[in-house]
Structure 1
Amino acid sequence: MRLFPSLSALLLIFWPGFLLAQSPFENGWQLDQAASNITYMSIKKGHIAETNSFATVNGQISEDGTAVLTIALDSVDTKVDLRNVRMRFLFFETFLHPQAIITTHLDAAILGDLSDLRRKEVTLPFSLSLHGVKAELTAPVIVSLLSNDRINVATVKPIPILMKDFGLEPGRAKLEEAAGVTITPLAIVSLNLTFDRTAPGSAPPPATPVVTASAAMETEGNFDRTACIGRFEILSRTGSINFAPSAARLEPSSTALLDTLYDVVSRCPDLVIEIGGHTDSQGKASWNLGLSQQRATAVSDYLQAKGIAQARMNVAGYGETKPLVPNNTAQNRAKNRRIEFSVVN
């Protein structure tokens, strides 16, 4: 996180040629992914700590001193496949927000004595863009000069990230419901980053690298039956397939999840799935039954238009007959208006 100002200063001091250079960031710097890691700790049931990481992180410092660290949230690694899927679809909603970005602009004067000290603690500001929210934060870090062309930046202590500050409370509630546990609304993040100077003559790193889902730590090829069933159950909990009020017209905001659904269905080629529509209890039961059928059909039509055979999809409308929760509050009624996916055979 604003770990990078240290980088610039270190180069200026330790490498004499940089003292006379017009830019201390000449050629730029690149994160050594194999020697770097970002981890976060979460607490469930009030006392069980779990530490997870991200498999794909890119980091660059451009020649103008702009430092960018890009985290592929699809690469969240809990060491359990379906837990990874829950984190992607229910918590981070990576079909809408595929990456987190940490940025700073480096000040070459911050670590003027690093060449003598070799290791120095500094407090650095940074911006964090996560889940559609951007916040300004600070963190104490240790900057270590490893060689002329290599440095390490590591957090002194874990950085607390409140889920509510980044709109992640609904995702936490979905995780709690899916896993049947309570989750503390706080994540503790640690960074250990190593950078190498880009070789002279190499193309400078992009100012804002883009990390796509193709870089995610995900099973390649088709899924087995267990993985398919688990994914359909998780996709059913996202609440991200939306329709116009009292209509079966899909809202544009649904496209990202429907495209993810298409990918999953495509990778479960031997299975027939049911697409089930559900409503709340507002209005006449007969109207709700018809609306739920129409909405499920709209999802089936979307998948068929993308190439899923109609024979692989059974469409069912359940109306208000299978509520998840009592229809006694607006929040509960919203939960009951849903599309669910399950394996038929």
Structure 2
Amino acid sequence: MRILSSLTAVFLICWPGFLLAQSPFENGWQLDQTASNVTYMSIKKGHIAEANSFATVNGQISEDGTAVLTISLDSVDTKVDLRNVRMRFLFFETFLHPQAVVTAQLDSAVLEDLTTLRRKEITLPFSLSLHGVKADLSAPVIISLLSNDRINVATVKPIPILTKDFGLEPGRAKLEEAAGVAITPLAIVSLNLTFDRTTPGSAPPVTTTVVTASTALEAEGDFDRTACVGRFEILSRTGSINFAPAAAKLEPSSTALLDTLYDVVSRCPGLVIEIAGHTDSQGRAAWNMGLSEQRAHAVAEYLEHKGIPESRMNVAGYGETKPLVPNNTVQNRAKNRRIEFSVVN
């Protein structure tokens, strides 16, 4: 990750005339996406390890030595479509946090002997921004000088990332419920990054904007029925459609997920969906029934305003009659207050 730091330094050191150059980072450096990868391993049921990756990773090193690696979390690739969708919506919550960003400030002095050694192990500090949390970490990496204009940086051993350190514990719990398995609360991340020196005069700007790219295993255009049904089931589990207390007014924090929902409904033409409201058991049952229907209507009205025809949406309120879990704790009651989506026909 901050792996980027050493990367640049390395480039510059391997560049003939580097020691005489006014700026060792002149022209900047660009990640070769086709020759780079970021992978992570997760463990379920206590002993089953699964290796996953990200299809879209961008990296730049600016002329002042600032290194940035941007990982598009929407491009998470588990090799299974609906598993990818669970990771996006339930774990990473990409509708709120679409990317992870690694930054580093490079110091070429550490790599002065790379032109002689050609391969060197160093410890790199880096900053990781993930899921709205920023943390300072470090990792040992091997830096290999492939040519005067090309370098590879790879982690010596996987980097452990604890879910609790980045506010990902609620997402892990949602994944466990959706998949019906226990998931170890950490991931181990490996990086293999290759950078090329940028052509003089075309230095890439350092940016943390979202990278637009094709999503791993995500179909383009319309979804088939199975994909639609699976996505609606997953969207129903996010718990990210929120209302004012005891009211049917949508909170602004709901907008990101509702816009994602609109995109999915739009790509499921011909299907009628049910938008179902549910409450906990606090208060009178009749009042809860009315509130649940009003909240479902609020969601339908949002989608209709975006362009989904009213004829494609059935609205239902179930009040407290279909709890997911017993209404015996604050946490359980929060789970029971929800909006669910399903295909009617």
Whole-angstrom CA distance in 2 between matches of 1:318 and 1:162: 38
The answer to whether the 8 Å contact 1:72/1:215 transfers is no
3-state DSSP class of the match of 1:69? strand
Instruction: Tell me the residue number matched to 1:176.
Output: 176
TM superposition shift of 1:252: 0.2
Instruction: Tell me the residue number matched to 1:106.
Output: 106
- Give the 3 Å change call, closer, same or farther, for CA 8–342 of structure 1 in structure 2: closer
3-state DSSP class of the match of 2:242? coil
Whole-angstrom CA distance in 1 between matches of 2:8 and 2:221: 43
Amino acid at match of 1:211: V
Whole-angstrom CA distance in 2 between matches of 1:171 and 1:288: 28
Root mean square deviation, CA, Å = 0.9
Whole-angstrom CA distance in 2 between matches of 1:212 and 1:271: 31
- Cα deviation, 1:176-197, whole Å, max 9, x if unaligned, reads 0000000000100000000000
Amino acid at match of 1:47: H
3-state DSSP class of the match of 2:63? coil
- Cα deviation, 1:302-326, whole Å, max 9, x if unaligned, reads 0000000000000000000000000
Instruction: Tell me the residue number matched to 1:136.
Output: 136
Instruction: Tell me the residue number matched to 2:257.
Output: 257
Q: How does 1:2-81 map to 2 (within 5 A)?
A: 2-81=2-81
The answer to whether the 8 Å contact 1:42/1:51 transfers is yes
Instruction: Tell me the residue number matched to 2:238.
Output: 238
- Give the 3 Å change call, closer, same or farther, for CA 331–41 of structure 1 in structure 2: same
The answer to whether the 8 Å contact 1:127/1:137 transfers is yes
- Give the 3 Å change call, closer, same or farther, for CA 315–237 of structure 1 in structure 2: same
The answer to whether the 8 Å contact 2:91/2:172 transfers is yes
5+ residue gaps, structure 1, are none
Whole-angstrom CA distance in 2 between matches of 1:209 and 1:129: 11
TM superposition shift of 1:210: 1.8
The answer to whether the 8 Å contact 1:12/1:112 transfers is no
The answer to whether the 8 Å contact 1:44/1:183 transfers is yes
Whole-angstrom CA distance in 2 between matches of 1:212 and 1:173: 28
1:208 aligns with 2:207: yes
Whole-angstrom CA distance in 2 between matches of 1:128 and 1:172: 19
Amino acid at match of 2:342: S
Whole-angstrom CA distance in 2 between matches of 1:3 and 1:214: 23
Whole-angstrom CA distance in 2 between matches of 1:293 and 1:279: 10
Amino acid at match of 1:205: P
Amino acid at match of 2:287: W
TM superposition shift of 1:209: 3.8
Instruction: Tell me the residue number matched to 1:194.
Output: 194
The answer to whether the 8 Å contact 1:277/1:293 transfers is yes
Instruction: Tell me the residue number matched to 1:320.
Output: 320
Amino acid at match of 2:198: T
- Cα deviation, 1:19-47, whole Å, max 9, x if unaligned, reads 11111111110000000000000000000
TM-score, normalization by structure 1: 0.98
- What percent of counterpart residues are identical? 83
Amino acid at match of 1:265: V
Whole-angstrom CA distance in 2 between matches of 1:11 and 1:69: 16
Instruction: Tell me the residue number matched to 1:228.
Output: 228
Amino acid at match of 1:30: Q
The answer to whether the 8 Å contact 1:74/1:213 transfers is no
Instruction: Tell me the residue number matched to 1:272.
Output: 272
- Cα deviation, 1:296-345, whole Å, max 9, x if unaligned, reads 00000000000000000000000000000000000000000000000000
3-state DSSP class of the match of 1:175? helix
- Give the 3 Å change call, closer, same or farther, for CA 314–81 of structure 1 in structure 2: same
Whole-angstrom CA distance in 2 between matches of 1:83 and 1:107: 40
Amino acid at match of 2:283: G
3-state DSSP class of the match of 1:315? strand
Amino acid at match of 1:179: A
The answer to whether the 8 Å contact 1:297/1:315 transfers is yes
Whole-angstrom CA distance in 1 between matches of 2:82 and 2:236: 14
Whole-angstrom CA distance in 1 between matches of 2:335 and 2:132: 23
Whole-angstrom CA distance in 2 between matches of 1:213 and 1:12: 29
**Where does structure 1 differ by over 6 angstroms across 4 or more consecutive aligned residues?**
none
The answer to whether the 8 Å contact 1:98/1:213 transfers is no
TM superposition shift of 1:212: 4.2
The answer to whether the 8 Å contact 1:9/1:114 transfers is no
The answer to whether the 8 Å contact 1:9/1:111 transfers is yes
Whole-angstrom CA distance in 1 between matches of 2:14 and 2:315: 67
Whole-angstrom CA distance in 2 between matches of 1:312 and 1:10: 58
Instruction: Tell me the residue number matched to 2:335.
Output: 335
Give the number of aligned pairs: 344
